[in-house]
Structure 1
Amino acid sequence: MTRISQHSSIKVSWGERLVIAFPILAFISMIWIYAVNVPWLDDVDVFPDFLGKFLSSNNWDERWYLLFKPNNEHRVVYAKLANLLHYALTGTLNMRTLTIASNVTLFGILWIFWRIVRDNKLKAIYFIPIPFILLQPQYYLTSLWTITGFQYQPVIFWGLMGMYLLSRQTIVGFITAIFLVFFDSFTMSNGMFYWIAGLVILCLQGRYKELLVWAIFMLLTIKIYFLNFSNEANDLGFKYFAQHPHESFFGFFTHLGGSFDFFTDWEIFKRSVLPTIAGAIMVSIVGIWIIAFLLFSDKLPFSLLKLNLKENYFKRLHQRISENSSNYIILGGLIFLLINALVIAILRPRFGYFVMIVGNYKIYPAMFFAFTYVIVATTWLKEKSHIWIKGIIGLAIVFNILSYGKFLPEVHERRKDLLTRVYNQQYNQIGLGPAIHTPFYDYVNQAMGRLTAQGIYTYPKGFYTGYEQDLSKPLSNFPDLKVDIHPTPDGIVIDEKSLVHGKGLNDGTYLILKSQTRTYLFYQKSPHWWGRTYQGSSTLIPIKTYEPDKYKIGVIHVLNNQVSFFDTKQEVELKL
């Protein structure tokens, strides 16, 4: 057995190292395999468009403006700096490389959890559930979407690093924490919630001079952040909240329990039941811990100790919690997550209740789940038999396996969908999110055209690479295949019932729409679980994703890297 570091009293066996490494390597493998060089929707604003405009500007006033300009509801300085750094090192824009890099802060978060376990003098076995809880694909719309990867994960990490430094109670740590939380506020707007967490921590520590300085910097940050900032979207959220307060009440628990959202195909009410119950249970556990830590501290003017001098459970619990300074990190992280959940529950239901458990938010409930476990481990299981922790490890492994079983097929399908869309962008100037002939459509084409003309961005290879000549041939050159066509309000649905779906990286049934001047590809993501063989496909051709014309319909079938072309002998006239 070896020490994890020269300063640590934790010894880690090779068996424990192997178990800890498994979820880490599995997660890294997923990111490496499924990250693609495709800017999607909000990516265009922060990466291709920002980089092109920044490089073409000779005015530093304009460059500073571009760096701090809000993108939707956030100023995303960290993402833009990463974009510039990548360009400085490579001379290119590569969304795959940036996506992989965006996940680095996740491992910084994992390191912070390790420090909490170490500082609580727990054995390494208590750390094992954390990577299984945290490193999984439920939040793939963060870990595999570049813009959200440079927002949601780093906003947690930089803020937690600030709380970690405050917990050290040194002047250098305090100054660095101010810088980190200031930077975090411009990584994503909810980073400002860490200022509130810092106020609470400094108050608990009795560091009132530093508290005053912290408050001044907090107010300055808020003033700078909201300078020339539009709050119209938030105003609409508050109006909806006033009319539907019950959605926000339940949405708070649903969001925090989002790690238990395994039935994503169910209608929203049934789907939300398990996350809401799980969220309520975890909030109850966290609530007991926070009450003991905060309300029974003699550092606070509203301490319950002044109301009740008798010995009770909360007093004993407070003594146990306050013994270790690393619990300030936990408290800071929980304050951030609880305020964040409250804001989401108030402002987001107007888009639909499903937003409480939407994929790109799920890093937050994963963090809340991990913190809840850490609270239980450091507060109640610390002196218990290892049977308890071994049982929790087993449950964490089951949770991780279920998460991969449910969500990895979605990750698998999303990659094929994005590579099909980027083909249409490359050859038809439509595919990265906008509807055709809209302001956003023109904006995307200008941003992409600016970088491709300079060779800064190169379109990625897909399954179709090397088959461009086949795609240019008349469909009548290929074997026949029967399909059925159904018009729907969302577009045209084309059903095929004979081709088998494989499990390979590019395996699937792709639709060809071919006119005299254009060739489009479409792919319909399949919700199927792995481990079963499926036959047939149903592909939607969404409205406003093509130029109006008469199109012949063809099919590409990929199975075990074997590519086959078919002619359906059918034609469809598509209009806007």
Structure 2
Amino acid sequence: MNSAYISLRQALIARSTTVALALVVIPFLCFGLLLFTYVVNVPWMDDIETFLNFMLGYTGSHTIGEKLDWLLRPNNEHRMLVGKLITLALYKLTGTVNFRWLIFAAFAFFLGIVLVLYRVFRSINLPLIAFVPVPFLMLQPQSYLTTMWAITGMQHEVVIALVITSLFLLANGSRNQFAGGLGLQILASFSMSNGLFGWAAGAVLLATQRQWGRLGIWLVAGVGAVLFYFHDFQNAQGNDSSITFFLANPHLTFFGFFTFTGGLFDFFFESEIFRRSILPTIAGMILIPVMLWLLWRMNKSLLRGGWSSDTPKNQEQTALWKRRYFFTGCYTFLMVNAVIIAFLRPRFGYFVMLVSNYMIYPALLVSLLYLNVLSEEYQNRKIIRRWMTLGAGISLMVWGVWYVLRMPKVAYRKQELLTNAYNQKRNDVGLGASLGTTFAQSAQRWMDDAVAKGMYQYPAAFYTPYEQMLQEPIAGKPTSTIPLLVREHPDVDLVRTNAWRVPDGLSNACFIVKSTERTYLFPVPTLFSPKPFFLGRSIPVLESEILKTSLYPGTYKVGILLHPTQGPAIQYLDHTITVQ
């Protein structure tokens, strides 16, 4: 009977491990499929300068000094050494700059973040099922503008991975790991300005360890890195005006800090900003006290003036203290980042506290808080079970909600990038630059040079089979009787079909704006409304914004490109737009 009981217990443990492994793998597979389906080889805004202009300059340089200058040269308010090195490596391997591959490479760093969290979790010695909430919290598409945009991925994903890996090595305490952590932190410093915050995090970690010699080395290296980072820095994006804005609006920085830290719960992102920010602000006001309580619990002996009975006495306690050092350093990094964003960014609009580019940080904060409680209560199985249940419930809710809310937007962004790539290719403007600006002229030159040198190739898209037809002149009268409603504004015209049945099975559509000399495409967001997107329901209308500020002066006919369709793919309507 005893043998049968042992066999049954072993079978249950094996089954539990299999279920846990399957649950951990699900968010990885889903997110990988999301990237594979919706990431396209199209640069957007700063991508053009940071990657294409860099490669043009680097490959055109003849001396080591010139090449080093291109690697270390700032772009806006950031240096991006690691991102540029990855771009160079991929170019050496493939002969091209492919933004799809750059995004995948940046995502490898994101996976590195999750791996570090897993390494920390394994030292707690709990079953794998307890780790399940972490990948569900991290691998969801709220932060799609980080994980699906080359420049933000090469900034935020890379820097976070480097910093927390550095902190992990510092927390372990050996001399070789300190050297490794120092090296990674130097790389992080020159990969984005946020990487500089890692010096503060590492200094706090080393101080809690009472590693005064290493702390001195760390501070000297940090001061050197900061001075070099800002050497010959010519563009700070007007951050000096943030002080004036803060003095006039200090409450925005105060509340912005909590809104940002609770941003994982930004579930009403289409509401106006005041209503939208209520839930994440409340969440932040809950999360920050929890974090402060954990910091007090982990470091109370140090704050009281000594280590007392908390000094590690065995392997288990040593592992606990290493985790405490790690969590303390990570919280320092995240809080410095949150304070700086709350101080510098509200002048652009309060919505920036919740912009997708930054939402990887609150997701990481919640994941760390979850693991931190597991670490502190690892001997109390009752609390562990309750915390796992709470973590599973919150993580599955967050994961499901953000897939429902973000998937249509992710799909729409793919169409938006592809149509804008057409406009850039055919009209020399479209990938984020405004017509007539210095950046538009530079972007045109960089794109044309990269294409001419074979460094970049525009991707095939849903409109590719019709591209030659789009360039042909319009013959005679309009070819369609599709009625159109138009709302005219100084800079944009809102156009939508009216009393017309949108064809079933339509997967892509865009509005055409065509003159005798130029043809533009504009994406259709209504194609990605939730009901048609998730449930396959019929699409009520096709609607788009015609940005007149991106059109050269002239008179343009409006048309529609439908794909796939039983009738003509390209139809021109009885409406014109005049741009002075």
TM-score w.r.t. length of structure 2: 0.90
Q: Hey, what does 1:3 align to over in structure 2?
A: none
Match of 2:562 in 1: 557
Q: What residue number does 1:458 align with?
A: 457
SS at match of 2:569: strand
Alignment of 1:8-407 (within 5 A): 13-230=17-234, 231=236, 233-294=238-299, 296-298=300-302, 303-305=303-305, 323-380=320-377, 383-385=380-382, 386=385, 388-407=387-406
Letter in 2 for 1:143: T
Q: Cα–Cα, structure 1 residues 471 and 569, in superposed 2: closer, same or farther, change >3 Å?
A: same
1:58–1:399 Cα change, 3 Å:
same
Residue equivalent to 1:442: 441
Asked whether the equivalents of residues 374 and 387 of structure 2 are also in contact (C-alpha less than 8 Å), the reply is: no
Distance 1:248 1:509, change over 3 A: same
1:420 partnered with 2:424 = no
CA contact (8 A) 1:129 1:392 kept: yes
Separation in 2 of the partners of 1:449 and 1:133? Answer: 41
Report the 3-state secondary structure (helix = DSSP H, G, I; strand = E; otherwise coil) of the residue aligned with 2:334. helix
CA distance in 2, matches of 1:508, 1:83: 31
Give the counterpart letter for 1:454 in structure 2: K
Task: For residue 501 of structure 1, report the CA deviation from its aligned partner.
Answer: 7.8
How far the C-alpha of 1:339 sits from its partner, in A, is 0.5
Q: CA deviation at 1:382?
A: 5.3
Residue 485 of structure 2 aligns with which residue?
Answer: 484
**Could you tell me which amino acid in structure 2 is paired with residue 349 of structure 1?**
P
Q: 1:186 deviation in Å?
A: 0.6
Equivalent AA in structure 2 for residue 121 of structure 1: N
Q: Which residue of 1 aligns with 2:407?
A: 408
Counterpart CA distance in 2 for 1:451 and 1:392 is: 48
Tell me the CA shift for residue 52 of structure 1. 0.8
Q: 1:454 to 1:111 in 2, by over 3 A?
A: same
8 Å CA contact 2:486–2:496 kept in 1: the answer is: yes
Question: Matched residue of 1:568: which SS?
Answer: strand
Deviates more, 1:482-491 or 1:337-346: 482-491
The TM-score normalised by the length of structure 1 is 0.91
Q: Distance in 2 between matches of 1:330 and 1:93?
A: 37
Q: How far off its partner does 1:387 sit?
A: 5.2
Q: Indicate the residue corresponding to 2:468 in structure 1.
A: 469
Structure 1 residues 101-158: Cα deviation after superposition (integer angstroms, max 9, x where no partner): 1100111111111111111112211110000000010000000000000000111110
Query: Match for residue 500 of structure 1?
Result: 502
For 2:34 and 2:459, the matched residues in 1 are separated by 19
Distance in 1, matches of 2:356 and 2:409, equals 11
Farther off after superposition, 526-535 or 261-270: 526-535
Distance in 1 between residues matched to 2:564 and 2:263, nearest whole Å:
35
Structure 2 Cα separation of the partners of residues 227 and 340 of structure 1 = 22
Contact 2:97 2:456 in 1 (8 A): yes
Q: Shift of the alpha carbon at 1:379? A: 2.3
**One-letter amino acid matched to 2:465:** G
Give 1:569 shift.
Answer: 1.9
Tell me how far apart the structure 1 counterparts of residues 177 and 567 of structure 2 sit (CA, whole Å): 58
Going from structure 1 to structure 2, the CA distance change for 1:344 and 1:320 (only over 3 Å counts) comes to farther
Whether the aligned pair in 2 keeps the contact of 1:263 and 1:271 (CA below 8 Å) is yes
Check the 8 A contact 1:499/1:509 in 2, yes or no: no
State the Cα distance separating 1:366 from its structure 2 match.
1.0
Amino acid across the alignment from 2:206: L
State the 1:444 CA deviation.
0.4
AA at the equivalent of 1:393: A
What is the deviation of 1:305? 4.9
In the superposition, relative to structure 1, how do residues 164 and 561 fare at CA in structure 2: closer, same or farther (>3 Å)? farther
State the AA in 2 paired with 1:449.
D
| Between 435-444 and 564-573, the greater mean CA deviation after superposition | 564-573
Match in the other structure for 1:6: none
Q: Compared with structure 1, are the counterparts of its residues 129 and 543 closer, same or farther at alpha carbon in structure 2 (3 Å cutoff)?
A: same
Matched residue type, 1:492 = D
Conservation of the 8 A alpha-carbon contact between 1:422 and 1:459: yes
Q: Distance in 2 between matches of 1:433 and 1:541?
A: 15
1:419-448 Cα offsets, whole Å, 9 max, x none, are 000011111111111111221111001101
Q: Percent same amino acid among aligned pairs?
A: 34
Partner of 2:551: 546
Q: Please tell me the residue identity of whatever aligns with 2:31.
A: F
Please state whether the residue corresponding to 2:525 is helix, strand or coil.
Answer: coil
Report the CA distance between 1:59 and its aligned residue.
Answer: 2.9
Aligned equivalents of 1:321, 1:391: Cα separation in 2: 28
Q: CA deviation at 1:564?
A: 2.5
DSSP-derived class of the 2:403 partner: helix
Is the helix fraction higher in 1 or 2?
A: 2
Alpha carbons of 1:502 and 1:57: their partners in 2 closer, same or farther (altered >3 Å)? farther
Q: Does 1:566 align with 2:571?
A: yes
- Per-residue deviation, 1:384: 3.1
- Cα distance in 2 for residues equivalent to 1:33 and 1:138: 17
- Displacement after TM superposition at 1:568 (Å): 1.0
- Structure 1 residue 30, shift from structure 2 partner: 0.5
560-569 vs 515-524, greater mean Cα deviation? 560-569
Between stretches 52-61 and 468-477, larger displacement belongs to: 468-477
Aligned to 2:5: none
Q: Secondary structure at the match of 1:536?
A: coil
Question: Which ranges of structure 1 fall in alignment gaps of 5 or more residues?
Answer: 1-8, 313-318
Unaligned runs of 5+ in 2: 1-12, 311-315
Structure 1, 180-189 or 323-332: larger mean CA deviation: 323-332
2:465 alignment partner, SS class: coil
Residue matched to 1:5: none
Amino acid at match of 2:448: G
User: Quick check: 436-445 or 532-541, which moved more?
Assistant: 532-541
Change in Cα spacing, 1:502 to 1:426, as seen in structure 2 (3 Å) is: farther
Structure 2 distance, partners of 1:195, 1:561, is 61
Letter in 2 for 1:545: S
Q: Distance in 2 between matches of 1:394 and 1:88?
A: 46
Aligned in 2, Cα 1:69/1:445: closer, same or farther, shift over 3 Å? Answer: same
Residues 377/323 of structure 1: CA separation in 2 closer, same or farther (3 Å cut)? closer
Report SS of the residue matched to 1:544.
helix
Q: Distance in 2 between matches of 1:559 and 1:569?
A: 22
Residue 331 to residue 239, structure 1, CA distance change in 2 (3 Å): same
Contact 2:78/2:193, CA 8 A, preserved across alignment: yes
**Contact persistence 1:321–1:379 (CA under 8 A):** no
Contact 1:381 1:389 in 2 (8 A): no
1:524 Cα deviation from its structure 2 partner = 3.7
CA drift at 1:172: 0.6
**Cα distance change on mapping 1:337 and 1:561 into 2, 3 Å:** farther
Per-residue displacement from partner, 1:201-258 (whole Å, max 9, x unpaired)? 1111121111111111111111111111244622111221111111000000000111
